[in-house]
Structure 1
Amino acid sequence: MRVKLKGINKVGKRLADGQRVAYYYAWKGGPRLPEKPGSAEFVAACNEAVAQKSQPKSDTIQALLNKYQEPLKWQGLGARTNKDYIGHIRKIEPEFGDFPISALPDRRARAAFLEWRDKMAVKSRMQADYVFATFASILAWALDRGLTDANPCEKPRQALPVRTGGMHLDTG
């Protein structure tokens, strides 16, 4: 049976003696894979590399976000609420997924989170506040369980109205 592995990066190389060889990597910039494609060792090494890549570091906000989304938390919530929370979490992940948990007690963390919220508020104040409230809820959940020492998102004021020119735009 033939298996098509996605993302394999093949790099051709000319050796000093003039011979051409091909090296295979799990992805661009990823670990080099042994053997040739199709061998059992190649597939096993590729699967192991992908599994290690997909595991977030346990000391980042991404680990908290993943733990928060475990099935027990979602029981009893409506389908729409689940969908909204997941959408909010998808907005948090690219911005702060790699943020270290150990940096949460630092006062500058709150400033960074609020600055991010204010950038979102340019497009929609209400949506920015919803996403930020979800983030605060997740960090409160983590604080209650001893997974972090601080919740820099607790008790935020609402996003400020956006001012353009001499006009005051307040949609909320």
Structure 2
Amino acid sequence: MNVELKGIHKVNKILANGSIKTYYYAHRGGPRIQAKYGSPEFVTQYMALKQSASPKVKRNSIDWLITQYLESYDFKALSDASKREYKRYLTLISQKFGKAPIDIATRNDAIAAYRQWHRSMQDKQRTANYALAVLKKLMAWAVDSGNTTTNPTAQIKPIKRKGKSTRRDIIWTKDQINHFNTVAGCHVKNPFNAALLTSQRKKDIIEMTWDAYDGDTIKIRQSKTGKDVWIKVPEELKCILDGLDRTHERVFLNSLGQPWTLDGYDSSFRAAKIAAKVNGVTFHDTRGTAVTLAYIGGASFREISLMSGHSEREVEEIINTHYLNRAAAADAIDAIKKVNQAGKV
């Protein structure tokens, strides 16, 4: 390929089998180029995508408001993970309302259109409510920044789950853990099993450093809450950690021996979950599973509180209301022990 193509964004994805596949995009955050790299078709697609990459945004439209918000302090102050999620839902908002003039889109009688859009996604409750939350944030910022005086979305309520259920009802079962651990490579399943045994969030697990582990306890400052938690390391987790190479500052590394990124781990975790045919649970559900494991293992509310970062009252409410799936929890403990005993971690 003799043509200089500026701005191409290259992403290396680690697949479930440990191999690496490279994807090319017209620009960072832009559309993927489907043609084979180096081919004439690749250049043709690149040029076409670049020409359509920067459409003119009409001033004082919702699309214009979104571009202003993305440059605001409010948006830039968000965590990287929140920025990614917000951009995802701002795209949905743009697709539906982007061309609408602000003075019409912020009239009080526009509430009907927003409520109908929100309810159209009710089969995916989390998506619907997150999209609504971002829309309300955008409109609130528009008022604060002086772009409008009214926020027609303020009175729209989130969709409630039937029976008041939450993801706290969901834990990983023995079969799901076994299937995942059988398919996933060590670099993917080690952080997963560590989360199952500590109730820590994905970001805090994959960014854990060796100086946080003294052989008996782990100290983590939770990225979301800022709380310091001290975790007594269970035997199953000690087996995992003591078998890892300590030549790098980070505890958990990818298949190339480099620190994980959130996007990189998400991609590999998702691929392994698909390969294992595990459905209905997410990495975040390890939080609930871990609380259950600790409770069934005999930990007190105080001990679980110190481990998870919840208050003791929250721990008691969680266990009493959501996490008393004792049979599934006991099976999950057995599944992790089986992996360790088989020497597969």
8 Å CA contact 2:109, 2:152 repeated in 1? no
Structure having greater relative contact order (Cα 8 Å, sep ≥ 6): 2
2:160 is the counterpart of 1:147:
no
- Aligned mates of 1:105, 1:90 — CA distance in 2: 18
- Aligned mates of 2:153, 2:67 — CA distance in 1: 18
1:91, distance to aligned residue in structure 2 (A): 1.1
CA deviation profile, 1:5-42 (whole Å, cap 9, x unmatched): xxxxxxxxxxxxxxxxxxxxxxxxxxxxxxxxxxxxxx
Return closer, same or farther for 1:90/1:105 CA change in 2, 3 Å cut-off: closer
Return closer, same or farther for 1:2/1:135 CA change in 2, 3 Å cut-off: same
- Aligned mates of 1:103, 1:71 — CA distance in 2: 23
- Aligned mates of 1:95, 1:158 — CA distance in 2: 19
1:70 alignment counterpart: 71
8 Å CA contact 2:108, 2:151 repeated in 1? no
Task: Provide the aligned length of Structure 1 versus Structure 2.
Answer: 119
1:89 alignment counterpart: 90
- Aligned mates of 1:61, 1:134 — CA distance in 2: 13
1:114 alignment counterpart: 115
Report the secondary structure of 2:136's partner residue: helix
- Aligned mates of 1:75, 1:127 — CA distance in 2: 22
Unaligned runs of 5+ in 2: 6-50, 167-345
1:104, distance to aligned residue in structure 2 (A): 3.0
Return closer, same or farther for 1:76/1:146 CA change in 2, 3 Å cut-off: closer
Q: Aligned-residue CA RMSD in angstroms?
A: 2.7
8 Å CA contact 1:92, 1:135 repeated in 2? yes
Counterparts of 1:18-167 in structure 2 under 5 Å? 54-70=55-71, 72-122=73-123, 124-159=124-159
TM-score by length of 1: 0.59
TM-score by length of 2: 0.31
- Aligned mates of 1:111, 1:92 — CA distance in 2: 15
1:160, distance to aligned residue in structure 2 (A): 5.5
Higher strand share: 1
Q: What amino acid maps onto 1:107 in structure 2? A: N
Structure 1 runs of 4+ with >2 Å offset: 1-4, 71-77, 104-108, 168-172
Higher helix share: 2
Identity between Structure 1 and Structure 2 (%): 24
1:171, distance to aligned residue in structure 2 (A): 5.0
1:3, distance to aligned residue in structure 2 (A): 8.7
1:40 alignment counterpart: none
- Aligned mates of 2:55, 2:153 — CA distance in 1: 27
Report the secondary structure of 2:120's partner residue: helix
CA deviation profile, 1:127-166 (whole Å, cap 9, x unmatched): 21111111111111011111113111113212256xxxxx
Unaligned runs of 5+ in 1: 5-49, 162-167
1:89, distance to aligned residue in structure 2 (A): 0.6
1:169, distance to aligned residue in structure 2 (A): 7.5
Q: What amino acid maps onto 2:134 in structure 1? A: T
Return closer, same or farther for 1:54/1:105 CA change in 2, 3 Å cut-off: closer
8 Å CA contact 1:68, 1:138 repeated in 2? yes
